[in-house]
Amino acid sequence: MAEKIYTPEVIQENPFPGDPLLPRIPQPKAPAGTYAPKADAEGRFPTRKIAVELLGQALNTKSKKILQEFQFTPSGAIQVGDYKKGVAGDLRLTPNGLTARDKAGLTTFAIDGTTGDAVFKGEVQAGTLISGLVVVGNNNVVLDGENKRIVINDNINDRVLMGYQLDGF
């Protein structure tokens, strides 16, 4: 079988439009029903547009850091993460509150945006806790800051009372 030989295509030189040294080549007329782009008579280049605000000034995509403040517009909700049972948990922020769940699907914390109630699955630590009433267990131990007393109950009677109780023991 004979080898096929490829040769480069020869491209004819065209004069630069408006060049006075070269003769003008007459433009063929397009047949009826054929459309061609209009030539720009002035031959001006489009004006250059310069970006004033760059995303790179607000976000560093290499270090994955936010460099400037962003403003949010009202939205229905924001979800961070994609919950997949046994793989990953998620966090949801809505106008009604904030909830997070672990990869088992259990709620790890929830803050009710309407009532202010909060539920935590794990340990809560604080440098200072200010509260009017702390109830431990099923009302067996009550730290009552408003009435300045601590009450320990055995499900029938108050057994230990520290503080003042009107007509107490």
- Pairwise pLDDT comparison (72 vs 144), residue with the higher score: 144
Q: What is the pLDDT of residues 141-157, one digit of tens each?
A: 888 888 888 888 888 88
Residue 86 backbone zone (phi > 0: left; psi -120 to 50: alpha; other: beta)? left
Retrieve residue 128's tokens.
């200072």
Backbone angles phi, psi at 68, to 5 degrees: -135, 170
Per-residue pLDDT band for 110 (boundaries 50, 70, 90) equals very high
Tens-digit pLDDT profile for residues 10-44: 877 776 666 665 555 666 666 677 666 666 666 67
pLDDT computed for residue 159 by the predictor: 77
Tokens of 17: 């439009």
DSSP 58: H
pLDDT (mean) for 88-92: 93
**Residue 163 has which token pair?**
């503080």
